[in-house]
Structure 1
Amino acid sequence: MSREGAARAARLHASCIGRCVAAALLALVFSSPPAVAAEPDLVHAVQAGETLYGLAEQYTGRSDRWPLLQQHNRIADPHRIEPGTHVRIPAALLVFAPSFATVAYVTGEVHQFAAQDMQPQPVQAGDRLPEGTRIEVGTDGYLRLALSDGSVVRVPANSTVRLAGVRRQETLQANETLIQLDAGRVDVSAQPLRGAAGRFEIRTPLAVASVRGTEFGVAIQPDAGVTGEVTHGAVDLKGRARSSGPRGSREQRLQAGEGARVSRAGTVGAVRRLPEAPELETLPATITDADFVRLPLPSAPGVAAYRVRIARDAAMEQVVRNGVFEAGELRFAGLDDGDYTLGARGMDAEGLSGLESTRAIRVKARPVAPLSQAPAPGARIVGSTVEFSCAQPAGIRRFRLQVASDESFKDLRVDDAELRECRRSAQLPVGRYFWRVASVGVASDGKTDQGPFGGGRRFDVVEPPPVPPPPRFGDADGTLQLYWSALPGYRYRVEVARDSAFVDLVGAETRSEASLQLESLPSGTYYVRMQAIAPEGDAGAFSVPQAVRIGPVLRDASGGAVHDGDGRPIGRQ
């Protein structure tokens, strides 16, 4: 046989082997689900020098699959392919190469664990997390992952996920994303799949949520049940029960605005409408507390709790606080001054989260208001002079004091923004008042920057009790006796001193009775003053001091006073 004939025979033999191998491989490849086989073939225009071996390696990841391409395209001679020939590559053969998820945003305590690695590493913006990575988001954390097809995965606080599959087929521009949710929740904005080749699934121990382009959330509830909700598009929620039970099915298709719960047995419950978006317009627009963000949450029928997040931007991408709160009040740690967007979703008794409402809020808590000292809340100020004082925060050199006769501070009686020290006196008529104070600083641009006022404090200015009339004096047997006219319900403080400044006190008593006796006082001059105390406890001014002299008394051998014929003690000469 000639050399040319031998070569032709060899090519025929190879072609025969190729057809046999191709037939076997095709049987394996196209035994996959019809949805995959239905994807259109990829068409490649052959360039000079290209071979089936190279094309198989390029598109399928294995050069030994060239017989499949030969059989599928009915190429007689795999060694000779004319440039410009259109070679069709079955979609079922196209390889999905390992890819990654990019950390688009992260805040708080978030850790990653590489596959088979127990050592946690912090997650940082820009990190590329490969397939197999486990992620734990702490109580103050939030994570946003970006996939290569533009899909976004958001992982809130107290959640654990694993990137079970992150693969991409570059030629088809298709992704295969499988996320295992072990605890907490994930919210997904999935891009529409291109054809039937791609996949996007959220898996839990009890259920699988499959999507082809939608916005949805999956959560593991405290009782281990699983909930799925859809806000846009549609999701197939599949329970992992082997068969449908009396209270559920194995699968439900959820449309926008719908949700369902998967029981601990793995069956999917009835489709339910999600709670309506809550009304947030009544929430305060400004937060003035530097330590906490406290806001009231509205009560609504069918809403048991709220899922809340606060972001720096209106698109809710840069989330700085997130959590779940029972209806009543939300409470987060304080935020820096600035503008934020608050988003809230109502949750029903099954744990299904509804549509989100947003509201712009502002934090203006600095410079921090000084700590108010006096008057204390509810104080009663006797007389017209009121002394105001507060603690002076470090670095603050100016303060603004307001006093009003109403709690809303519309009827101002004092408005002083030029206080250099946090203290001031004011003359006020009898009545009820409210007072508050703010720190005044200087902003970076040199302009005045007044912080929020502290909480208003109520006090009352009351009429002082009448000044008692001068007491009557008696001196019997060296005992100082005092008598006065008392008003019903009043008490009286009586002070006796050796000096008119009442520094050297020899007696001080508060009496309900209208008399007082001080025995065995040494002879000398004493000063007496009195103060009336009203039934409410308000103390008036002291009376003008009165001087009284106690002289020496002549005493007998037993120490008793010697009296004259009229019974009065005889003084020493």
Structure 2
Amino acid sequence: MAMRESVTGPGRRAGRLALAGLIAMGWCGSVWADSHPSRALGAPVKATAPAYVQYTTREGDSLYDIANRYLDGEADWATLSRLNHVPVPRRMPAGIVLRLPAGKLKQDWETAHVVATSGPAERAFGKNPYVPLTTNAALVEGDRIRTGPNGFVTLELPDHSFVTVAQNGEMDIGTLRRIRLTGAGDRVFDLHRGEVESQVTHATKHDDRFQIRSPSVVAGVRGTRFKVTYSGDAQTTTVAVLDGAVGVDPAAHNGRDLAPLPGVPLQASEQLVKARFGNVTHAGGAVGGPVQLLPAPALAQPARVQDGKTVAFDIVPAEQAAGYRVQIARDADQLDLIRDLRVSEPHADFGDLPDGTYFVRIASIAADGLDGLPQVYAFERRQVGLDVSAGPRAGTHDYEFRWLVGRTNVDTRFRFVMGKTADLSQPIVDRTDLSGGQLVVSDLPAGVYYWTIVAEQFENGRFYETSSAVRSFTIAR
């Protein structure tokens, strides 16, 4: 009983006085700062991570219970007792505010799930060998991911953030945890090669941490969409910010890890890169300053159905663009990527793709290697397959034209156009009412003729049209 009285009476008042003193020293919200930032002459202020968090006791709590539930272990009760000037009662009343050391808070492992994968993609845990990676796989801290040409992987985190590893990439899940007491997430990804694009849900806790680390920089966010690319050959890291802001710091100096700790605000970073800006950092150099991203280019024919033998796009040439990046995904958010091309000219050819609805994202590439702002278009891949042939009928002055459409399960109408010039601007035959696959033109005089077949289909509420190449033949008498 005497022990309980010392907590609810004078001891509790002492705790409140201690708390008031802590507030005066800089406590904010539910996190205390262990020390004040120091300012060197002419140097920027560098904030330190919070050292303590608060816990308000519930009826029946003991220091043993709190230490076992929220700290490294039950043995940390002594730390709590010393830190809070609280004796060690068997049970404590509700409402006492205690300080808990942030560095000892218990963390629970979290799981990331693969929501999309395409092409060569593998995972390995620790030093185990790589195995193929499939959709719906669960990954944890310590897992490694690597992709090959046209290989892509997108992970979804428990807070619905997304991380996409692009082709020819290599990334480790360095930290994937949540602090049991505060609910703050700690997520660190180590990029060794290639590109990682992240869509990060806005942080709700003061000490939430999300970082992409390359060998040269650490990019941290509170909620944004951004890309980090590391070129091992050039030893260069680029950061491009599409939304929000990203704090960029050096990864290490003289062997010392300089990555910001949880709770350090982005404003304390060496460089704060805001939306529509990026930066470039070279090996051994200082973190690059913000550079404005190039504006998004435009697609030349955005509404065109991709009905050719290959899927190809023409881009309206953009000023200052040293090249273009063209990506194809199955979704508008580009989480399910399947193709990725960097081209020096405003034209990209991806070869064949199955029929379906896709989304193409285009961006200009600056001379410093930074991808500019993107533009996304939906497009339809629909190969009709139109084979045509023509030839004279033996013993007559007739010419016979034949055609065959590949998509035979859809009602198709055909148009036959023939003229004396290659542009067919003044046709001498223009038949729009054809349903079969054959037409005979009789009594053609000598000369050179040009012709084409147009196939027209209406399916699922959309009109489709495809034409054969303009061909020519000569009649001599």
Q: Do 1:241 and 1:266's aligned partners in 2 also have CA atoms closer than 8 Å?
A: no
C-alpha distance after superposition, 1:382-432 (max 9, x if no partner)? 99632224578697898845223363689552345322xx54421345665
CA contact (8 A) 1:403 1:413 kept: yes
Q: Which residue of 1 aligns with 2:27?
A: none
Q: 1:286 to 1:453 in 2, by over 3 A?
A: closer
**Partner residue of 2:149?**
139
Q: Map residues 285-304 of structure 1 onto 2, 5 A cutoff.
A: 285-289=304-308, 291-304=309-322
Q: Which residue of 2 aligns with 1:163?
A: 173
Q: Could you tell me which residue of structure 1 aligns to residue 188 of structure 2?
A: 178
- Residues 150 and 390 from structure 1, CA distance in 2 versus in 1: closer, same or farther, beyond 3 angstroms? closer
Query: Which whole-Å CA distance do the structure 1 matches of 2:365 and 2:372 have between them?
Result: 6
Whichever residue aligns with residue 321 of structure 2, its letter is: V
Using the alignment, how far apart are the partners of 1:134 and 1:146 within structure 2? 15
Cross-structure match for 2:390:
374
**TM-fit CA distance, 1:340:** 2.5
Q: Which amino acid aligns with 1:138?
A: G
Residues 75 and 238 (structure 1 numbering): CA distance in 2 closer, same or farther, change over 3 Å? closer
Of 423, 448, 453, the residue aligned with 1:407 is: 423
Q: CA deviation at 1:111?
A: 1.0
Q: How does 1:225-236 map to 2 (within 5 A)?
A: 225-236=236-247
Q: Deviation at 1:152?
A: 1.5
Which residue of the other structure, out of 329, 337, 347, is the alignment partner of 2:355?
A: 337
Measured after TM superposition, the shift of residue 39 of structure 1 is 6.0
Where in structure 1 are there 5+ consecutive unaligned residues? 9-14, 16-28, 244-249, 465-539, 541-573
Contact in 2 for aligned 1:96/1:176 (Cα 8 Å): no
SS of residue matched to 1:144: strand
Is 2:62 the counterpart of 1:51? yes
What's the CA shift for 1:153? 1.0
Choose from 197, 205, 221 the match for 1:187.
Answer: 197
Pick closer, same or farther for the CA change 1:275–1:311 going to 2, 3 Å: same
Separation in 1, partners of 2:73, 2:426 = 81
Equivalent pair of 2:415/2:430 in contact (CA under 8 Å): no
Letter in 2 for 1:69: L
Q: Among 124, 127, 142, which residue is 1:116 paired with?
A: 127
Taking the aligned partners of 1:96 and 1:31, their CA distance within structure 2 comes to 24
Equivalent residue for 1:60, pick from 63, 71, 92: 71
Equivalent residue, structure 1, for 2:271: 252
- Report if aligned partners of 1:230, 1:256 keep a CA contact under 8 Å in 2: yes
Question: Scaled by the length of structure 1, what TM-score is found?
Answer: 0.64
Per-residue Cα deviation, 1:33-75 (whole angstroms, up to 9, x for no partner): 96432664132423x4x43212211111311111222234433
Evaluate the alpha carbon distance shift between residue 392 and residue 196 of structure 1 in structure 2; reply closer, same or farther with a 3 A threshold: closer
Counterpart residue number, 2:331: 313
Contact in 2 for aligned 1:384/1:430 (Cα 8 Å): no
Deviation of residue 275 (structure 1)? Answer: 0.8
Given that 2:119 and 2:152 are in contact with CA atoms closer than 8 Å, whether structure 1 keeps it comes out as yes
Which of residues 435, 448, 463 in structure 2 aligns to 1:418?
435
Matches within 5 A, 1:2-41: 35-37=48-50, 40-41=53-54
State how far apart, in whole Å, the 1-side matches of 2:276 and 2:458 are: 49
Q: Do the aligned partners of 2:386 and 2:404 also contact (CA within 8 Å) in 1?
A: no
Unaligned runs of 5+ in 2: 5-10, 12-32, 38-46, 255-268
Give the Cα–Cα distance (whole angstroms) in 1 for the partners of residues 244 and 194 of structure 2: 23
Q: Judge conservation of contact 1:105–1:144 (CA < 8 Å) in 2.
A: yes
CA contact 1:178–1:200 (8 Å) conserved in 2: yes
> For 2:138, which of 128, 136, 150 is the aligned residue?
128
Counterpart of 1:456 in structure 2 is 469
Rg larger in structure: 1
- Residue identity in the other structure for 1:36: A
Aligned CA distance change for structure 1 residues 94 and 356 (closer, same or farther; 3 Å) = same
RMSD: 3.8
Task: State the shift of 1:258 in Å.
Answer: 1.3
1:436 maps to 452
Q: Does the 8 Å CA contact 1:434/1:456 hold for their aligned counterparts?
A: no
Q: Deviations over 1:144-172 (max 9, x none)?
A: 11112232112222211111111111432
The number of residue pairs the alignment matches comes to: 419
Q: Give the direction of change, closer, same or farther, for the CA distance of 1:410–1:227 in structure 2 (3 Å limit).
A: farther
Mapped pair 1:264 → 2:275: no
What is the SS of the residue equivalent to 1:41?
strand
| SS, match of residue 350 in structure 2 | strand
In structure 2, relative to structure 1, the CA distance for the partners of 1:172 and 1:35 (3 Å cut) is farther
Q: Render the CA deviation track for 1:116-163: whole Å, top value 9, x for unaligned.
A: 112x22222222101111111222222211112232112222211111
What amino acid sits opposite 1:180 in the alignment? D
Cα distance in 2 for partners of 1:267, 1:304 equals 25
1-side partners of 2:68 and 2:88: how far apart?
Answer: 18
Query: Share of identical aligned residues, percent?
Result: 25
Distance 2:463 2:400 in 1: 23
The answer to whether the 8 A contact 2:247-2:271 is kept is: yes
